[in-house]
């Protein structure tokens, strides 16, 4: 399923809290800011005023709110990014989630973490992990699809540019940082999730005799 990022006034998107594609109810009712004023007599007086250009979107699945100010989501901060593919190895998933937590504050730091994530993913796929460029080249020689090579190199190059002077300023193009999360998930889906699903089906449903015949055929 395509990830639909939270977008201002969109009637349904993937909830930044529960991750479910759900209908969103928009409202500006009751959004106030409170502050305390200290009086000359020492008493504290609580005052409120309505927040302008501010809306909430309530998820119909989990009933939690996202907060939007001047058409940008300000809470939760990580909501523009899809959840990690559950088949990502735990250490890589931790890097993904850390990148997700900081992307709206530091898109460059987020891109650098995702570069680290795919370097670890190359190790998971059987490469040495010493040089990510060489690891990708090795995977290509082993038959890595071109689209996966492009996805890996996109994360690698943009992640490199995030920590070294380059031609891409992620602070001005945060949507590029958002896209990298989708690339990491697609890479995992094609190189880990799909082979896993096929192998599980094969092991469960193909008779042993047929498996033996296939093994002899392919020797």
- Decide if 210 is inside a domain: no
The 3-state secondary structure of 59-88, one letter per residue: ECCCCCEEEEECCEEEECCCCCCCCCCCCC
Instruction: Report the chain (219 residues): mean pLDDT per 10 consecutive residues.
Output: 83 90 89 81 82 90 92 80 92 94 87 95 94 96 95 93 73 83 94 94 93 90
Q: What per-residue confidence (pLDDT) applies to 79?
A: 64
Per-residue confidence (pLDDT) for residue 201, from 0 to 100 = 96
Are residues 108 and 67 part of one domain? no
* Residue 156 sits in the same domain as residue 105: yes
Quote the pLDDT of residue 128: 92
Q: What is the pLDDT of residue 172?
A: 66
- Per-residue pLDDT at 1: 65
pLDDT at residue 6, as a whole number:
86
Distance between CA atoms of 73 and 117, rounded to whole angstroms? 26
**Do 70 and 112 belong to one domain?**
no
Whether residue 100 sits in one domain with residue 69: no
Residue 187 lies in domain: 90-205
Question: Rounded distance, CA 81 to CA 83, Å?
Answer: 7
Assigned domain for 81 exists: no
Shared domain for 98 and 49, answered yes or no, is no
User: Residues 121, 171: one domain?
Assistant: yes
**21 and 98: one domain?**
no
Looking at residue 137, which CATH number applies to its domain?
1.20.120
Number of domains present in the structure of the chain: 2
Same domain, 69 and 174: no
Q: Are 91 and 117 in contact (CB under 8 A)?
A: no
- Same-domain status, 182 and 107: yes
> Is 141 contained in some domain?
yes
Is 101 found in the same domain as 58?
no
Same domain, 147 and 193: yes
Pair 67, 106 in one domain: no
Structure tokens at 138: 């090795």
In the β-sheet with 54-59, what is the strand arrangement from edge to edge? Answer: 12-14, 21-27, 54-59, 65-69, 72-75
Provide the pLDDT for residue 9: 92
Token readout for 33 is 């800011």
Tell me the backbone φ, ψ of residue 81, rounded to 5 degrees. -115, 140
Q: Residues of 20-50 as b/e, b for ≥16 C-beta within 10 angstroms? A: eebebeeeeeebeeeeeeeeeeeeeeeeeee
Identify the pLDDT of residue 125. Answer: 94
| SS3 per-residue string spanning the chain | CCCCCCCCCCCEEECCCCCCEEEEEEECCCCEEEEEEECCCCCEEEEEEECCCEEEEEECCCCCEEEEECCEEEECCCCCCCCCCCCCCHHHHHHHHHHHHHCCCCHHHHHHHHHHHHHHHHHHCCCCCCCHHHHHHHHHHCCCCHHHHHHHHHHHHHHHHHHCCCCCCCCCCHHHHHHHHHHHHHHHHHHHHHHHHHHHHHHHHCCHHHHHHHHHHCC
């Amino acid at each position: 399923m395509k990830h639909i990022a939270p977008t201002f006034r969109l009637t349904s998107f993937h909830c930044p809290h529960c991750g479910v594609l759900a209908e969103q109810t928009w409202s500006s009712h009751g959004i106030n800011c409170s502050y305390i004023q200290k009086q000359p007599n020492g008493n504290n007086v609580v005052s409120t005023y309505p927040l302008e250009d501010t809306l909430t979107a309530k998820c119909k699945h989990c009933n939690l709110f996202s907060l939007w100010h001047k058409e940008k989501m300000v809470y939760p901060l990580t909501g523009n990014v899809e959840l990690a593919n559950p088949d990502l190895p735990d250490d890589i998933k931790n890097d993904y989630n850390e990148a997700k937590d900081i992307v709206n504050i530091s898109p460059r730091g987020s891109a650098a973490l995702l570069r680290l994530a795919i370097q670890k993913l190359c190790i998971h796929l059987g490469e040495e992990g010493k040089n990510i460029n060489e690891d990708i080249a090795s995977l290509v020689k082993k038959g890595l699809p071109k689209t996966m090579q492009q996805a890996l190199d996109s994360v690698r190059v943009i992640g490199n540019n995030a920590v070294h002077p380059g031609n891409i300023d992620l602070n001005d193009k945060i949507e590029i940082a958002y896209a990298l999360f989708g690339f990491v998930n697609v890479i995992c889906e094609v190189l880990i999730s799909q082979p896993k699903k096929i192998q599980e089906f094969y092991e469960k449903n193909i008779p042993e005799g047929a498996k033996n015949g296939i093994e002899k055929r392919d020797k």
